Structure 1
């Protein structure tokens, strides 16, 4: 089979650490184009991996006609680039949050369907070994019915992670649209939906700027009620200056499951009868320690085998809707019903 010709649009940190190296390591992929308005960045990758550098994605799509496109741009451009790529007949992998609005997400799904191409959203939390193990254990009913939960994702912020540091687009509202919630909160809304096989029915949230010199949110603290009745909290923060937290705790009728709370034992189960089970699954990837995201391989597998991508546009849209509803709650001071 001929290789899948992939173009990467946006050559910032997520491309540098995840998309480009993971495509380069995939035997089914040929990297054919790199796009960035700072053309030198695109040229650097083209020199290293082959392919051609572009400053503009429309020119690239017309000239290269790639089989697949990774959309790694600022959030405001996710929908326009993804829709243009789908209309050019390319499969699309888009970073999270998939879009800036629910209407954009719907338009992206429609464009992919109309053009017969795949659309996948880069929600990598689903593929991290501790989360995969946790879901397998939950299916056995080991902690009984999940009653309450806390899921949290915080780190010192994009100033430490982004290729542009404190000057990053992450802090500019027209490009970022949203801050910590779009960067980290949407990961957690996706994770909790997937882990519990449940949908968020209601949300209330405090979403605001506590410490960063920016007009986007640097913290969010939300309460959620799931359709099953389970209640919990979702936290996203760019001000965990002492270090990253990417943990989830589930309290069930028979015991508690702790995920990502211990450096060696990534999943811990403590049952009401005194039993304790500890699992070493492999770590959760962090900004300091970049492990495979599995996202690229899963996306390419879905193209090679013509299967449904593991995180569809519809799934990305549901996880986005939770975050958008938290902003609505902050603006109105009310609980927001979702769907």
Structure 2
């Protein structure tokens, strides 16, 4: 069986915890290259998982001509690297946020379409077992219409996650473009859209830096969103949850309430208006402190092998990105922004 030749660009924490081990474990994948501007870091991964180390991604694409490229570099470089890879004929899995601007994301989608390759965005929260169960519950209709909701994603900050600690690119605007909003807020924006099978129409937000000194990106975001269905809710993203991580969501519906992530043993809880309670022990939600298999790699590879659309195509990544970009526009203007 011919294996898919895979290259990973960017050798930071997400590669350490997700992409390198998950691609290496896949029976139909062969890792042929690691690329990072710090070549020694790329070499360390190549020594462990196989393949050749590179510091220049264009050189790597030219020499290796991989079937698959995973882009998990600083956000500012997602578009140029993705476009170069798809133009070389590679299928691309790009980390979130997929791009820094709407125009970049559109260019990535168009480039993939022109090359007839798969583009998938690593919005991993869709694949967490509790979120899959929550989707099942909401889709069943047992709770009726979703009326309002509250979603929170936060941790102590990238200094405890990034391989470069406090000197990480996460804190530099020219590379990160956006902080907690793009790191965590986009996960919740994407999750709400997917869970409700609905689109965000309006955003009103406050985004700013509250405590991360010597950083020119945001460490907190609070926004109110309205869905096409009329449901309204809030999304909070923070790098200053110093007491510990939070990845919870709650949906108040006509006939009951759906809670996600509040109890470790039962991450999905349904409380009906008649007082009945259903608890589901369906696995965990991956966090910085508790890394679990994401399912992203398996899903992406399967879409290529079966020639079927990816679970999270570029178009979906763009729709979620537009929510966060609207939040920045709202902060800058002091107005509610319509998400076109």
Q: TM-score band (shorter)?
A: over 0.9
Q: Deviations over 1:136-179 (max 9, x none)?
A: 01111121110000011000010000000000000000000000
Q: Unaligned stretches of 5+ in structure 1?
A: none
Distance 1:120 1:274 in 2: 41
1:265 equivalent in structure 2: 266
Tell me by how many angstroms 1:56 deviates.
0.5
Q: Deviations over 1:31-58 (max 9, x none)?
A: 0000001101110111111110000100
Alignment size in residue pairs: 339
1:306 equivalent in structure 2: 307
Tell me by how many angstroms 1:236 deviates.
0.3
Distance 2:197 2:207 in 1: 26
1:67 equivalent in structure 2: 67
1:224 equivalent in structure 2: 225
3-state SS, counterpart of residue 92 of structure 1: strand
3-state SS, counterpart of residue 268 of structure 1: strand
2:117 equivalent in structure 1: 117
What is the TM-score with the length of structure 1 in the denominator?
Answer: 0.99
3-state SS, counterpart of residue 45 of structure 2: helix
2:102 equivalent in structure 1: 102
Distance 2:55 2:144 in 1: 53
2:27 equivalent in structure 1: 27
1:39 equivalent in structure 2: 39
Distance 1:139 1:101 in 2: 32
3-state SS, counterpart of residue 11 of structure 2: coil
2:237 equivalent in structure 1: 236
Distance 2:100 2:322 in 1: 10
Distance 1:140 1:119 in 2: 30
User: Is 2:296 the partner of 1:295?
Assistant: yes
| Superposition CA RMSD, Å | 0.5
Distance 2:223 2:182 in 1: 14
1:131 equivalent in structure 2: 131
Q: Deviations over 1:243-269 (max 9, x none)?
A: 000010000010110000112110111
1:159 equivalent in structure 2: 159
1:333 equivalent in structure 2: 334
Tell me by how many angstroms 1:316 deviates.
0.2
Q: Unaligned stretches of 5+ in structure 2?
A: none
